Amino acid sequence: MTTDRLPASTAPAPAFSIPSILAILAAIGSFMTGAFLGMILAIAAIVLGLIGVMLALSPRVRGGMMSILSILAGVAGIVAAVFKLVF
């Protein structure tokens, strides 16, 4: 008797990319530091977020939404850094 079941997939489960994780950490860190370091971390969050979005186009990598959120948080971090610098 034969069964028509498909063989179990041996593909690895999708994993978060390292740039997307680092982007979130940089975005969070940009709010917790001073103006200069906050600006640097916010820019790093945006750059790493863009890299994470590009990597998330692969079906083996997760983190597209997390990367997009880190880009938005990076932009907010730049605004916060400018406010810290001015006020």
Contact 70, 45 (CB under 8 A): yes
Q: State mean pLDDT over 32-59.
A: 93
* Beta-bridge mates of residue 57: none
Cα–Cα distance measured from residue 63 to residue 81, given in angstroms and rounded to the nearest whole number: 26
Query: Is residue 1 predicted with pLDDT exceeding 70?
Result: no
The number of folded domains in the chain is 1
Instruction: Report if residue 7 sits inside a domain.
Output: no
Instruction: Report if residue 35 sits inside a domain.
Output: yes
Residue 80: what pLDDT?
93
Q: Which amino acid is at 33?
A: T
Q: Which of 3-12, 18-27, 40-49, 57-66 has the lowest mean pLDDT?
A: 3-12
> Mean pLDDT score of the chain, rounded to an integer?
88
Residue 38 CB coordination number (10 Å): 22
Instruction: Report if residue 6 sits inside a domain.
Output: no
Instruction: Report if residue 32 sits inside a domain.
Output: yes
Instruction: Identify the band that residue 10 occupies on the pLDDT scale cut at 50, 70 and 90.
Output: low
What is the domain extent for residue 78?
16-86
